[in-house]
Structure 1
Amino acid sequence: MSEGGDPSDEGGREVGERLVERLGERGVEYVFATFGTDHPTLIRGFAEDGAPTPILAPHEMVAASAAHGYAQATGDPGVVLVHVDVGTANLGASLHNAARSRVPLLVVAGRTPLTTDGETPGSRSIFVHWYQDVADQHGIVREYTKWEYELEAAENVDGVVDRGLDVATADPAGPTYLTLPREVLRREAPAPTPNRTTATEPATLDAGTRRRLADLLAEAEHPLVVTSYLGREEAAVPVLESFAETVGVPVVETAPAFDLNFPRDHPLHFGFGAEPHLDEADLLLVVDCDVPWVPKRASPRADATVVHVDADPEKPMYPMWDFHADLRVRADAQSALADLTEAFDPADGADRADRFGERGLARHERRRDAVPDAADADRITPDLLSHALGEALDDDAIVVDETVTNTPSVLRHCTRTKPGTYYSYCSSGLGWGLGAAAGVALARPDATVVGVVGDGSFVLGNPLAAVQMTEAYDLPHLTVVYNNEGWAAVSDAIADQYDEVGFDPSEFTRFDPGTDYAALAEGWGCHGERVSEPAELEAAVERALGAVEDGTHAILDVAVR
């Protein structure tokens, strides 16, 4: 082919088509895409037999959130395709969420064409190509990505795809970012290269550290495990369960708990948050956790020993992170806990496990007794709603949680017990839940998926785009809106900072007038229902779940007070 020629004129394959093919060779089944004018060659690739299936999302925040949920539910990297700088910017908080939640995403973005006068295939051809030319497109995402690169040479296409996926999935996982100038995508594709990617073996404890930790555990009177995302690897949950039972150690999950880390009805599950236990604990084993406690609320006692086991126990991604540890261990949590369990005879921790187990069972009983019967309630509280959902869902149903201020209620009363039946995220970039639930539904089509969101999260989640994608790809699930008609987190922040204020905080936090989300749902072709009375709640939940079982997306708008 002559220099500057069009490979498609001679029936040749182009770099963009080869890039899509390489994604498929790496096991990518779906690409969550918001297409733009820089993607024609990629679209040719998607049109080929055997290519990954593009999931069209009408908004980039929804695309990335769906990829995030899909990645959590499968353990595979999510792949997102967006349009130049503006599509990248439209990702909004989704990259923050993936980075802080340690979720592997490869984000592929177009790049405005480099040439301006038709010198080569892919050159600028419409006026917007000048407006979308920016000095540092990668700077939009650099704070939240582990790796970023621009494909400059056709010969590198396979290696660049491999590198983006490998870095995204390496522990600690997170987003990577690849830009694609249109001229490079139009060049002749190189010959395929072998797929030689190999997995990295997880790090475990050396013999000396293993002995030291075993001695600390044996000597402690009141040990405590604190975790947030150990359950990201579902196989790690029974390993932690075996460790807790063998050594006799209770477990707390910090809120937000990104995944189900420990069966929540287990006698050694001591709740959500370490703070109530810090006065007692003499050994804190922090495992796969970024924020083990909030120091303003409570801190470990002065003579307590703190051990942090994590893939990155120094947390370099956070500019300010000052949680003290007497021993930091860089290791894979699942392997480390399995090694420590082998150091103990089950009889060694039996008395301690029984003692803590009695306390745990009493905690579970008090939790159950705290929820009033709907017949006796004068309003729907978050606890009442969470309890109703927990009673209605089977053990295999999956809860995708973005209720934020009501997350403690969901954790306590919508009890999940199996690995892979609860997903959440860092809860700091609202708008994740609607897309994430659709991504989980795509990953787990045989499970009942229930997305629970606050009304603020619902609005910020681009609901029209999320519902359109859900309908287009037949991903029926239930969305439950904990509707308190405002931003409860902002109200809580005002109360946290000031004992008294000379104004009504609701003027700045309340959505007035409110929105009937059930009516919107019906307009979108979904099952929609609004509930405000406790006596109506159980039947409404059953109707909504029945609609999902029949293949209809359902939105239940529940007024909580």
Structure 2
Amino acid sequence: MYTTSSAFLDALIEHGVSYIFANLGSDHPALVEAIAEARAQGRKIPEVVTCPNEMVGMSVAHGFWQTSGEPQAVVVHVECGTQALAGAVHNAAKGRAPMLIFAGASPFTQEGELKGSRNEFIQWIQDVHDQRGLVRGYMRYDSEIRTGRNVKDLVHRAFQFAQSEPQGPVYLMGAREVMEEEVEPKADQSAAWRPIEPAALTPEALDDIGRALLTARRPLIVTSFAGRDPAAVPALVRLCDALGIGVLESVPNAMNFPHDHPLYLGNQWNQPVQNADLAEADVVLVIDSDVPWIPTVSRPSPSARIFHIDVDPLKEQMPLWHVPAQRVCRAQAATALGQLSAWLEGQSIDPAQVEDRKMHYAARHADRDRALAELEAAPVGKITPEYFLSRLRAAQDDSMIFVNEAISNYPNVFNHLSLNRPGAIHTSGGGSLGWNGGAAIGVKLARPDATVVALTGDGSFMFTVPSSVHWMARRYEAPFVQIIFNNRGWKSPKLSTLAVHPEGYAAHAESLDTSFDPAPDYVGIATAAGNGWGRQIKDPAEIDSAIAEALRVVREERKCAILDVWLDHH
């Protein structure tokens, strides 16, 4: 029979979905049957990837989209599976990662009135008042499939929301009886449900921002994730080259601007210091940033003129948020940057002024390079993250894509890898740990030719559910290098406490309950689940050979490689 589930699968194909990342349950007999029938008849459906853990499965979908730009589907089990998505829902919402989540629902009949009626005790227990409400605050769209006659319309509408800026996850649910309903096949009408076109600057805003940048003494652009769209990077470089604008990354989520460019001024995270370039700027253009600065420690001059461009400039999911901008514009970064470059073609640009800006920022860039080089000096007897990352940088090539969940070493990763390629690095964009393992698999599935390197703290490694991650990487031939920055505990909670209570009891306590002593055998955990290769590194002299062997194992043996890198105790 052709059922609601059959039509659902067809709708996914019509939207270019390659994979269903599935954690199946008792609510999915119709979907399982439709998949089996399609395979038996040779009808095209997405490939089903078995995900023993729901958060891992959704993180795989997240990583796949980050590399391919193509949203995928996640299937989970009623409200239990929906809740188990947990932090991955947060990460996708905050990271603006589009994907479709489908969850079954407990049957709504219990006397055998319809096919799919309740026949297992768990179906009474899993019947809840508002299943969609569990995730509604994080979804761009949610709905319930109530009949198979319009299931394609619901899927099309869901993807239209997911792929329209600001992008994000969407959620559909359907009870067993509905998913078993026999329906007539419908033609592909997905082309009539396209995402909305990218928003652009108004002529007035374009002129105002352009003139401010043109006449400023020290113009500065602050961004966090403009580089999620690879097309935005060359557009940003063109504008900055034309006017000599410095670029500061705040909490970067992507490679937004080439790190070797003389106008690149580095990145700011939680460092409790005023950023000198931000303080000096007389015009600040914020493009695609959720946290352009932390006002309690670093902020622009009160006299600076501030402009803000974002597809979500109100930050509608953030109850407390404000940037004192004189123009707030809802526009897509690449589109707006292209408009600004085109606007400049009709303007008179002072070459001497542009050269002065470039020389000033180039000197700042060179100072930063020298300071970073000093931190990369070869250590004696212990490994520093700066030195390790400098050796990883020496081994990198254009095939590498990094997923970064190094937490307390976030700044070190962005500082010392010195990346220049759009799409070379991703973070989750959110704050729920455990994304990197699944994301690495998703990146590898999207780019089989790439060498994927996951950078993780030891705490975030355990959050990844490594038994599921490394089993999946083995089964679906998606090997990656996973590098664990092992400081034997949660360093970030310690840093947060000391930042608020620098001389308090915690500052003098022997234990803050953040230690992982005795250290788990991380290599053993991963290799047992995935039959990979691993090595624990404590001596700086071992780093180069270990990195080389890890890359060889992933590329030639097609197995995961785990490097457990021991740093100073947190």
TM-score class, shorter = over 0.9
Task: Work out whether residues 245 and 353 of structure 1, in 8 Å CA contact, stay in contact via their aligned partners in 2.
Answer: no
Answering whether residue 21 of structure 2 is matched by residue 41 of structure 1, we say: no
Deviation at 1:323, TM superposition (A): 2.4
1:501 aligns with 2:475: no
Pick from 545, 558, 561: which aligns with 2:565? 558
User: Aligned partners of 1:367, 1:439: CA distance in 2, in Å?
Assistant: 35
SS state of the match for residue 279, structure 2?
Answer: coil
Q: Which amino acid aligns with 2:209?
A: L
Tell me the distance in 2 between the aligned counterparts of 1:433 and 1:372. 25
Structure 1 residue 241 corresponds to structure 2 residue 237 = yes
- CA deviation digits over 1:103-139, x for unaligned, max 9? 1121111111111111110111111101100011112
Deviation (angstroms), 1:267: 1.1
Contact 2:393 2:418 in 1 (8 A): yes
Alignment-derived partner of residue 540 in structure 1: 546
1:187-216 alpha-carbon deviations (Å, 9 max, x no partner) = 012331333233422121222221111110
Question: 1:365 and 2:369 equivalent?
Answer: yes
Separation in structure 2 between the aligned mates of residue 53 and residue 118 of structure 1, nearest angstrom: 32
The equivalent residue for 2:382 is 379
> Structure 1 residue aligned with 2:268, among 264, 270, 273?
273
Where 1:508 maps in the other structure, the secondary structure is coil
Matched, 1:115 2:109: yes
1:340 to 2:336 alignment: no
**Matching residue within 521, 525, 545 for 2:526:** 521
CA contact (8 A) 2:400 2:453 kept: yes
User: Deviation of residue 427 (structure 1)?
Assistant: 4.4
Residue matched to 1:18: 7
Is 1:230 equivalent to 2:234 in the alignment? no
The superposition leaves residues 237-257 of structure 1 with CA deviations (integer Å, 9 ceiling, x where unpaired) of 1111111101210111111x2
Q: 1:500-536 deviations in whole A, cap 9, x for unaligned?
A: 2335264411112111211223323110100011111
Q: How does 1:71-86 map to 2 (within 5 A)?
A: 71-86=65-80
Amino acid at match of 1:126: E
Distance 2:399 2:233 in 1: 15
Structure 1 pair 490/191, CA: closer, same or farther in 2 (3 Å)?
same
How far 1:372 sits from its partner (Å)?
Answer: 3.8
Give 1:367 shift: 4.1
Q: Aligned AA for 1:164?
A: A
**Alignment counterpart, residue 18 of structure 2, candidates 2, 22, 29:** 29
Report if aligned partners of 1:45, 1:51 keep a CA contact under 8 Å in 2.
no
1:327-476 correspondence to structure 2 within 5 Å:
327-345=327-345, 348=351, 350-374=354-378, 376-476=379-479
Structure 1 CA distance, aligned partners of 2:442 and 2:175?
28
The alpha-carbon deviation at position 162 of structure 1 amounts to 0.5
1:177 aligns with one of 167, 171, 177: 171
Distance (Å, rounded) in 2 between the aligned partners of 1:436 and 1:76: 14
Does the CA contact (< 8 Å) of 1:395 and 1:416 recur in 2?
A: no
Q: Name the SS of the counterpart of 1:521 in structure 2.
A: helix
Contact 2:434–2:461 (Cα < 8 Å) also in 1? yes
Instruction: Write the distance in 1 (CA, Å) between the matches of 2:85 and 2:207.
Output: 46
Q: TM-score by structure 2 length?
A: 0.93
| Secondary structure at 1:163 match in 2 | helix
Contact 2:7 2:185 in 1 (8 A): no
> Secondary structure in 1 aligned to 2:505?
coil
Q: Which residue of 1 aligns with 2:296?
A: 296
Q: What amino acid sits opposite 2:254 in the alignment? A: D
- Distance in 2, matches of 1:146 and 1:119, equals 35
Counterpart in 1 of 2:324? Answer: 324
Query: Does the Cα contact within 8 Å between 1:265 and 1:364 map onto a contact in 2?
Result: no
> 1: CA distance between counterparts of 2:510 and 2:122?
44
- Determine the structure 2 residue equivalent to 1:9: none
- Asked if 1:186 is matched to 2:180, the reply is yes
* Aligned residues of 1:246 and 1:347 also touching (Cα < 8 A): no
Maintained 8 Å contact 1:386/1:410: yes
Deviations 1:262-296, CA, capped at 9 Å, x for gaps: 11111111100295122201111000111100111
8 Å Cα contact 1:491-1:506 kept in structure 2: no
The structure-2 alpha-carbon separation of the partners of 1:483 and 1:544, relative to structure 1 and needing over 3 Å to count, comes to same
Matched, 1:104 2:104: no
- Is residue 134 from structure 1 mapped to residue 128 from structure 2 by the alignment? yes
SS at match of 1:214: helix
Which structure 1 segments of 5+ residues have no match? 1-11
What is the RMSD of the two structures over their aligned residues, measured on CA atoms? 1.6
Partners of 2:19 and 2:544 lie apart in 1 by 36
Stretch moving more, 513-522 or 428-437 = 513-522
- CA 502–315 in structure 1, closer or farther in 2 if over 3 Å, else same: closer
Share of identical aligned residues, percent?
Answer: 37
1:337 aligns to what SS in structure 2? helix
Against the structure 1 CA distance between its residues 75 and 323, is the aligned structure 2 distance closer, same or farther, given a 3 Å change threshold? same
Q: Given the two structures, how large is their TM-score scaled by the length of structure 1?
A: 0.95
- Indicate the larger mover: 350-359 or 102-111: 350-359
Shift of 1:369: 1.8
Q: 1:204 aligned to 200, 221, 231, which one?
A: 200
**Structure 2, gaps ≥5 residues long:** none
